[in-house]
Amino acid sequence: MRYDFRHSDKCNMCSTTARRTHGLRLNRSQGMRPRRVSGVAVSIIECGNCGLLFPDPVPYPENLADHYGIPPRDYWTSVTTWSEGYFESEIATAKRLINFRPGMTALDIGVGLGKGMRSLVHAGFDAFGIEPSESFRDHAIEHMGVDAQRVQLASVEDANFEKGGFDFITFGAVLEHLYDPALAIARALGWLRPGGMIQAEVPSADHLVARLINLFFRLQGTSYVTNTSPMHSPFHIYEFTLKSFEENARKSGYRVVEHSYAVCEIMHLPKMLHPLLRRWMEMNRSGMQLTVWLSH
């Protein structure tokens, strides 16, 4: 896989140039003994203002299909069937925040397997989508019954929708994959009607388990970190903090209406510690996932 490495001189979310080096990330899975693994490493930077984590230089693939032009089963560890409970709590929150009425419009940015878009339709939304991967879009159409006419095969930068045309827009595990998340949010705000809501689910830069693994790496005498994965699956470029969105909101003219953290699956640590770690992460808002709700 070939990359074009481009220097980033400021934080994408808050535009601050203050920074510190967080550590090094290899172009492959590092395991728990990264010193034994060979590969190409990039520096992971922490924004000195908002805490956003990102690589510098940023590795841009020669072709986006190098990352996502693969069969869904080669990208997702589990390609499961749809159930009525999928995306249920997020849809319930969206309905509450926008005072839902049947037929309101929704946009799923990053349709992926199509389960989220199917859930939106099931919940009474008039749903549309964007998906840049042809193989993922095909799966959504063939296996999830997604209407092909309602899913643009495009990136968020190239997609075209009517200004103010949507009541609800969701970035479900998407912003961390984009090379310019601030631009993606700005584009989505243009498609959002007054009073509408944007939901974004992203990896948290404050994740306790990642900090513990990084400490383990330090005790081995290395500077490697587990944060992000810009050159191997799942190809995460960024990890966010709540302040990342608050600072971007001030810059871009929106507001953070609500936010929450989720522990998610605990990996790489002994199972006997999971109950204690889960409780600690719930109490200290240091779970793996951050969800924010944004509006004009």
Map out the domains of the chain as residue ranges: 71-204+255-274+287-295
CATH class of 71-204+255-274+287-295: alpha beta
pLDDT score for 101:
96
The span from the CA of 125 to the CA of 117, in Å, is: 9
pLDDT score for 56:
97
pLDDT score for 64:
81
pLDDT score for 65:
81
Listed residue (4, 134, 140) closest to 68, CA to CA: 134
pLDDT score for 288:
98
The span from the CA of 151 to the CA of 139, in Å, is: 12
Listed residue (182, 227, 185) closest to 204, CA to CA: 227
Show the low-confidence residues of the chain (pLDDT under 50). Answer: none
- CA angle, corner 237, sides to 21 and 234, nearest 5? 125
pLDDT score for 151:
97
Give the pTM. Answer: 0.96
Cis peptide before 132 (omega within 30 of 0): no
Cα-based distances in Å from 175 to 204, 272, 278: 12, 33, 25
